[in-house]
């Protein structure tokens, strides 16, 4: 092999070997029953004292308590959905252990606000004298009250309704890279919370297909890159020899 070929060999293989050697082997966090095909198993519900309704298992195209028109679950036959016939504040959450790695958290939501608008005071208390008609998704510390909206308790807000949003919408996908959060809290137990409150009129929050996904290049793909580089190198000297004849 000529010096030029050896130089090309190093240029092709070195970056791929670096990727193979430096690629982290972190597993993404795991959630139980993110598709709700096992009902609400693995999840915890919390309802403010005095609330009507809760989070239920949704199937079909009618909401579980009020019988409002809703879309069918987007994955499988079941989703989770808050519903009631009177005011209330409802939370659905699951704890998970953060692990350092490149990961995205995604989920599908249905928002069914049957009032005339969203009202978003800084509280999940339905009994406040203020109009309160909103939904949100956060990652909290596990020491926080399930209904807390204090900045010290919320590590990241993944979704929140705002005044002027479409009132009935979904199911739609929310996806966010949370790699930095996982790295900052690696080894800690954190809480993923879905919350809905209504004191104006009936509202639903549907949740489905909740999952963590790795953003890292899988090792088989890196190995494939190395294989392609080696094949190119095998072919290169022969091609050069043919060109020199």
CATH of the domain at 133: 2.60.120.260
pLDDT at residue 184, as a whole number: 97
pLDDT at residue 14, as a whole number: 53
Kindly state whether residue 178 falls inside one of the protein's structural domains: yes
pTM listed for this prediction = 0.81
- The whole-angstrom separation of Cα 82 and Cα 54 is 5
SS3 of residue 25 by DSSP: coil
pLDDT at residue 9, as a whole number: 47
- Answer yes or no: do 225 and 178 share one domain: no
- The whole-angstrom separation of Cα 157 and Cα 138 is 4
- Answer yes or no: do 150 and 191 share one domain: yes
- Answer yes or no: do 72 and 141 share one domain: yes
Kindly state whether residue 50 falls inside one of the protein's structural domains: yes
Cα torsion through 27, 32, 36, 37, rounded to 10: 90
- Answer yes or no: do 144 and 52 share one domain: yes
Kindly state whether residue 56 falls inside one of the protein's structural domains: yes
216 Cα distance to chain centroid: 16
- The whole-angstrom separation of Cα 157 and Cα 197 is 16
Paired tokens of 52:
């009507």
- Answer yes or no: do 14 and 128 share one domain: no
DSSP string, 144-212: S-TT---TTTEEEEEEE--TTS-SEEEEEEEEEE-HHHHHHTTT-EEEEEEEEEESSS-EEEEEEEEEE
pLDDT at residue 20, as a whole number: 43
- Answer yes or no: do 155 and 229 share one domain: no
Count of domains observed in the chain: 2
pLDDT at residue 204, as a whole number: 98
Kindly state whether residue 31 falls inside one of the protein's structural domains: no
pLDDT at residue 101, as a whole number: 87
Kindly state whether residue 34 falls inside one of the protein's structural domains: no
Burial of 115 (0-12, 13-18, 19+ CB in 10 A): middle
- Answer yes or no: do 7 and 108 share one domain: no
Give how far Cα 177 sits from Cα of 172, 196, 215, 226, Å.
Answer: 17, 23, 8, 28
Kindly state whether residue 65 falls inside one of the protein's structural domains: yes
Kindly state whether residue 27 falls inside one of the protein's structural domains: no
- Answer yes or no: do 188 and 76 share one domain: yes
Contact (Cβ atoms closer than 8 angstroms) between residue 207 and residue 58: no
Phi-psi region of 67 (alpha: psi -120 to 50; beta: other; left: phi over 0): left
- Answer yes or no: do 199 and 120 share one domain: yes
pLDDT at residue 28, as a whole number: 86
- Answer yes or no: do 69 and 161 share one domain: yes
Q: Which residues of the chain have pLDDT under 50?
A: 5, 9, 16-25, 221-226, 229-230, 234, 238-241, 244
Kindly state whether residue 231 falls inside one of the protein's structural domains: yes
- Answer yes or no: do 106 and 67 share one domain: yes
- Answer yes or no: do 107 and 228 share one domain: no
Domain range for 231 is 3-22+219-244
């Amino acid at each position: 092999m000529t010096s030029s070929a050896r130089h090309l060999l190093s240029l092709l293989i070195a970056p791929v070997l670096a990727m193979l050697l430096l690629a982290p082997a972190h597993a993404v966090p795991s959630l139980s029953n993110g598709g709700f095909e096992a009902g609400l198993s693995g999840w915890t519900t919390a309802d403010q004292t005095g609330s009507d309704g809760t989070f239920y298992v949704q199937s079909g195209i009618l909401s579980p308590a009020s019988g409002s028109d809703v879309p069918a679950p987007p994955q499988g036959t079941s989703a989770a959905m808050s519903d009631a016939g009177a005011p209330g504040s409802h939370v659905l959450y699951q704890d998970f252990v953060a692990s350092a790695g490149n990961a995205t958290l995604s989920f599908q939501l249905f928002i069914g606000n049957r009032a005339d608008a969203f009202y978003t005071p800084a509280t999940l208390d339905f009994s406040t004298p203020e109009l309160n008609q909103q939904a949100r998704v956060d990652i909290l510390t596990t020491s926080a009250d399930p209904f807390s909206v204090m900045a010290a308790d919320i590590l990241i807000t993944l979704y929140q309704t705002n005044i002027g949003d479409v009132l009935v919408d979904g199911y739609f996908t929310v996806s966010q890279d949370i790699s930095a959060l996982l790295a900052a809290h690696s080894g800690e137990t954190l809480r993923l919370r879905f919350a809905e409150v209504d004191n104006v009129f009936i509202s639903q929050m549907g949740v489905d297909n909740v999952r963590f996904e790795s953003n890292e290049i899988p090792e088989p793909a890196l190995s494939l890159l190395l294989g392609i580089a080696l094949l190119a190198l095998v072919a290169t000297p022969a091609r050069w020899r043919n060109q020199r004849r």
